[in-house]
Amino acid sequence: MPTGERSAPTLRDARAMLSGSSTVQDAVRQALSLEREKRDLNIFLETFDESALQQAERVDARRKAGDAGPLAGLVLSIKDNLCYKDHRVSASSRILGDFTSLFTATAVQRLIDADAVVLGRTNCDEFAMGSSNENSAFGAVKNPLDPSRVPGGSSGGAAASVAAGIVHAALGSDTGGSIRQPASFTGTVGLKPTYGRVSRYGLIAFASSFDQIGPFAHDVHDTARVYEVMAGHDPHDNTSSQRPVEPVDLEREPGTLRIAYYRECLERPGTDPEVVQHMQANIDRLKSEGHRVEPAELPMLEHLVPTYYILATAEASSNLARFDGIHYGHRSEKATSLEEIYRFSRSEGFGAEVQRRILLGTFVLSSGYYDAYYAKGQKVRRIIRDATLRTFNDHDLILLPTSPMTAFKRDALTDDPIAMYLQDIFTVQANLVGIPAISLPTGTHGNGMPFGTQLMAAPFQEARLLNAAATLFGA
Ligand code: GLN
C-alpha cells in the first residue's frame, strides 16, 4: 500500500478487509497514522484516539458475536460544530474556550449506535460562516488535492478528511452550501438533506431555519448508508419531521426522468466558462440517454445570495447572543464591569467574519430597518420557495453546477467578502427552500481540480435524489 493512502476508502472496501483477518481497531490505527502524516493540511482540530480505539474494540467484539451494526467498519469524522459528550467542541472559534460537550448530537449518536467510530473533530470556518475554511480561529485547511488551494467551506475539514483518505465518511453542516461546495472542491460526494429530515439537536446553531447536518463520502453508496441511519424524527428537535424515512435503493432503474436546469446559471458572466461547458455536456449526455432535460424559470437568481445573507445573519445574530463571556467559554481578563465582560469577551472571542455577520444581522433586525430588510427578506424567501416548488410539479430534479468555479487559491478572496459570498450563488436556493440537494464529482477542470455537479429534488425526495445520483452519474 503506498503511504498516504487508505487501503479501504469506502465502506465496501472496509467490509472486504474485515472479512479477512483485519479488525476495526486496525482501521482506526491506520486512520490515526494517516492523520498524523497529513497534519500540515490542518484538517483535524483533534483526534479522539482513546474513545475511537475503545469504540473500535466494542465493534470488534460485536462482530465476533455476530451482532455488529450496519456501519461496523466505518471510520467517521465530525465537524467541530457537532456535540459529542465528554469531547471538546469549539465551532473553530476562540469564544468557546475549552468547552466540553455535555451530550451527544442525535445524528452522531445514531451513527455510533450503528457501530461507526468517531475519529475526531474537523476544522471548519468559525461558526460555519465561510466558503473557503479560511475563517477558522485555528488556521486555514488546505485542499488535499492541491495544498495551494482551499478545500471550500465551511465544512472544509470534513470534506478534506474524506478526500485525504483519512476517514470513510464525514459529518458536516450546510446552511447555505457548506457541505456541497467543499464536496465539489475536493472531489467528494456531499448531501444536504431536506430541512427537518435530520435532527439538529446537538448542532451548534448558525441560522436555525437553514441549518442541516449531512454526510460526505467517496461515493453515493456510503453517503446513502450514513444518511439513512441519521435521518428520522427526533423528539429533541421539534423541527425534525415525523415522516417515515424512505429506504434508498441505488440499483433501481430510474426510468425517464424530467430534469430542469436554469439558463440563467449558465449565462451569468461570473461563472467559469469550463464549468458552463461541463454542465452543457452533462445536459447533452442526459438528453441522449433519453431523459427530458429542459430549461426552467429561476426568478431572481441575483437575489438569492442577498436574501440568504439578510436572513441567515439575522438568525445568527440572535443565535450567537448566548456567547456572552458568562455562560460558557472565553471571558476577557481585562473586563471590570458587566458591560465590559460582554464587550471584551465577544471582541476577543469572535473572529472578523463572525463579528461582521453579527453586526449585519443586528442591523437588519433593528427597529426602523426590520420591515425594510428582514420582513422583506422573508417575503422574497417565500417567493423563491413557491417558484422552486412549482418547478417540481412537472420535474423530478433540478440540475445545476454546485459552484461557479472550482477550488480557488488560498488567500485569493479573503479581502473581498462579497466575492466570497457570491460563491454560494448556486447552493443557497436549496437552503432557502429547505429541499434536499447533493453535490457529485463529475469530471476535472483544465486546472486539474474536480467539477461538482448538483442535483436538487422536492422535499423529502432523498431516495429519488440518491438513486438519480448513482444511476445518472455513476458517482
Ligand atoms: N458559505 C455560506 C456562508 O458563509 C454557507 C455557510 C454554511 O452553509 N454553513 O454563510
DSSP line for 174-222: ESSSTTHHHHHHHT-EEEEPPTTTB--TTBPPSSTTT-EEEEEESSHHH
CA angle 378, 353, 266 (to 5 degrees): 60
212 lines ligand 1 (CB under 6 A): no
C-alpha cell at 140: 486555514
Query: What is the mean pLDDT of the segment spanning 197-224?
Result: 98
Chain-centre distance for alpha carbon 265:
22
The mean pLDDT of 178-199, rounded to a whole number, is 98
DSSP H helical segments within 366-434, as ranges?
Answer: 376-391, 417-421, 428-433
Q: How many helices (H) and strands (E) does the chain have?
A: 16, 11
Strand partners, 259: 293, 397
Residue 359 CB partners (closer than 8 Å, separation 6+): 317
Element spanning 260, H or E: strand 258-262
* Res 156 pLDDT > 60: yes
Taking all residues of the chain, what is their mean pLDDT, rounded to a whole number?
96
Q: Edge-to-edge, what's the strand order for the sheet holding 75-79?
A: 44-47, 117-122, 75-79, 169-174, 212-217, 189-192, 437-444, 450-457, 397-401, 258-262, 292-296
Beta bridge partners of 190: 216, 439
User: pLDDT tens across 82-107, in order?
Assistant: 999 999 999 999 999 999 999 999 99
**Other CB atoms within 10 A of residue 250 CB:** 17
Ligand 1 atom index nearest CA of 309: 10
State whether the beta carbon of 133 lies less than 6 angstroms from ligand 1: no
Ligand 1 atom with the smallest distance to the CA of 177 is 8
The whole-angstrom separation of Cα 344 and Cα 346 is: 5
Q: Are strands 212-217 and 169-174 parallel, antiparallel or unpaired?
A: antiparallel
Mutate to test the pocket of ligand 1, among 82, 129, 423, 432 (most ligand atoms within 8 A of CB): 129
For the chain, percent of residues with pLDDT exceeding 90: 91
- In testing the pocket of ligand 1, which one of 131, 320, 403, 414 has its CB within 8 Å of the most ligand atoms? 131
Mind listing the pLDDT tens digit for each residue in 440-457? 999 999 999 999 999 999
Identify whether the C-beta of residue 199 lies closer than 8 Å to the C-beta of residue 102: no
The H or E element spanning position 294 is strand 292-296
CA 107, CA 85: separation in Å to the nearest integer?
13
What is the spatial distance between Cα 227 and Cα 221, in angstroms, rounded to a whole number? 10
Active site members: 79, 154, 178
Atom in ligand 1 nearest the alpha carbon of residue 178 = 8
User: Which of 81, 125, 319 for a ligand 1 pocket mutation test, highest count of atoms within 8 Å of Cβ?
Assistant: 125
H-run or E-run covering 444: strand 437-444
Q: How far is CA 169 from CA 221, 379, 440, in A?
A: 11, 37, 15
Question: How confident is the model at residue 258, as a pLDDT?
Answer: 98
Ligand 1 centroid from CA 195, angstroms? 15
| Residue given cell 468559525 in the structure block | 126
Expressed in angstroms and rounded, the spacing between residue 246 Cα and the centre of ligand 1 is: 28
Q: For residue range 262-275, what is the model confidence (pLDDT) as tens digits?
A: 999 899 888 999 99
Could you write out the three-class secondary structure of 77-118? EEECCECCCCCECCCCCCCCCCCECCCCCHHHHHHHHCCCEE
Q: Would you say residue 7 has pLDDT above 80?
A: no
Q: Is the pLDDT of residue 310 over 80?
A: yes
User: For residue 189, what pLDDT band results from cuts at 50, 70 and 90?
Assistant: very high
The CB of 109 under 6 Å from ligand 1? The reply is no
What is the rounded average pLDDT of the residues 3-15? Answer: 79
Q: What is the pLDDT of residue 475?
A: 77
Average pLDDT of the segment spanning 284-299: 94
Is the pLDDT at 4 greater than 70? The verdict is no
Cα distances (Å, whole numbers) of residue 365 to 130, 326, 356: 21, 24, 14
What's the burial of 251, exposed, middle or buried (CB within 10 Å: 0-12/13-18/19+)? exposed
User: Which amino acid, one-letter code, is at 467?
Assistant: N
Residue 3: what pLDDT?
Answer: 52
Cβ–ligand 1 contact at 203 (below 6 Å):
no
Q: What is the pLDDT of residue 1?
A: 44
How far is the centre of ligand 1, averaged over its atoms, from the C-alpha of 421 (Å)?
A: 8
Cβ neighbour number for residue 465 with a 10 Å cutoff = 27
Q: Is there an atom of ligand 1 within 6 Å of 129 CB? A: yes
Angle at 173 between CA 297 and CA 15, to 5 degrees: 110
Q: Determine what percent of the chain is predicted with pLDDT higher than 70.
A: 99
Which pLDDT value is given to residue 286?
98
Ligand 1 atom, smallest distance to 210 CA: 8
Query: 184, 231, 191, 193: which is closest to 212 by C-alpha?
Result: 193
What would the pLDDT profile of 313-338 be if each residue is shown by its tens digit? 999 999 999 999 998 899 999 999 99
255 has pLDDT over 60: yes
- Predicted confidence (pLDDT) at residue 299 exceeds the cutoff of 90: no
pLDDT grade for 19, boundaries at 50, 70 and 90: confident
The answer on pLDDT for 2 being more than 50 is: no
Closest CA to 220 of 415, 404, 453, 42: 453
474 or 432, which is more confident: 432
Q: At what angle do helices 24-37 and 11-18 cross, to 10 degrees?
A: 130
Determine the 3-state secondary structure of 265 from DSSP.
Answer: helix
